């Protein structure tokens, strides 16, 4: 919605920036959600507040996740969304966090690969300080790590898993036929550009 990512999303992701009564916050959000659907799951874990909402028969559930993790180099700016001013994570931080998520989720998620392709294709800058804070690696070194990770974990058979229902039919063709190789190619170009910068 904010950065024109060209796929649908059933997740609403937030970061908890202040110290609050977490139980009360979950209860307040659940009350709002119950006006529009059924809260099927709700929990407060060590790093996440979570709600799963069924808002219409036959439609995908909506996941609301509020991360409690705080990083020194995460940055935010006010952005206009439907006539409201919302404090949103800056796009360079979104890119950094998505790069980390690709490897650190613990399971293969094609949405991450699709989103990384979007960032690279649109020449979005990465927050290198945040990436290093989270991974202890430079941007170039982390991209090299991703280059090894992608072919081992993604293929034509699993690329549409969890992603196919979020894109249009013509995008599905691109994902199956081109996403993998084009993302690898864009990463290789990015690594070369970084190498030129250091010469």
Over the stretch 109-123, which tens digit does the pLDDT of each residue have? 999 999 999 999 999
| In the chain, where the domains are located | 90-199
User: Between these two residues, 150 and 82, which has the higher pLDDT value?
Assistant: 150
Q: What are phi and psi of 38, to 5 degrees?
A: -115, 130
1-15, 77-91, 180-194: range with lowest mean pLDDT: 1-15
Report pLDDT for 10: 79
Over the stretch 22-53, which tens digit does the pLDDT of each residue have? 999 999 999 999 999 999 999 999 999 999 99
Output the six-digit token pair for 88: 């949103």
pLDDT of residue 137: 97
Q: What pLDDT, on a 0 to 100 scale, did the predictor assign at position 197?
A: 67
Helix locations, the chain, DSSP H: 22-34, 91-104, 110-121, 128-135, 139-153, 169-174, 180-198
What average pLDDT does the segment 151-171 reach? 91
Q: Are 13 and 2 in contact (CB under 8 A)?
A: no
The DSSP-derived string for 28-57 is HHHHHHHTTSEEEEEEE-SSEEEEEEE-ST
Regarding pTM above 0.75, the answer is: yes
Q: Which of 106, 187, 119 is nearest to 151 (CA)?
A: 187
């Amino acid at each position: 919605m904010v950065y024109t990512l060209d796929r649908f999303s059933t997740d609403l992701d937030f970061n908890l920036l202040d110290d609050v009564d977490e139980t009360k916050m979950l209860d307040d959000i659940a009350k709002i959600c119950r006006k529009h659907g059924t809260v099927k799951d709700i929990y407060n874990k060590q790093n996440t507040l979570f709600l799963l909402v069924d808002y219409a028969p036959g439609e995908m559930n909506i996941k609301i996740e509020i991360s409690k993790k705080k990083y020194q180099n995460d940055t935010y700016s006010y952005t206009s969304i439907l006539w409201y001013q919302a404090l949103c994570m800056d796009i360079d931080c979104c890119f950094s966090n998505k790069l980390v998520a690709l490897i650190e989720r613990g399971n293969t998620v094609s949405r991450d690969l699709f989103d990384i392709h979007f960032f690279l294709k649109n020449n979005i800058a990465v927050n290198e300080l945040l990436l290093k804070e989270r991974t202890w690696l430079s941007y170039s070194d982390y991209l090299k790590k991703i280059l090894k990770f992608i072919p081992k974990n993604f293929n034509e058979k699993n690329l549409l898993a969890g992603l196919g229902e979020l894109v249009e039919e013509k995008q599905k063709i691109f994902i199956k036929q081109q996403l993998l190789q084009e993302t690898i190619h864009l990463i290789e170009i990015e690594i070369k550009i970084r190498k030129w910068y250091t010469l």
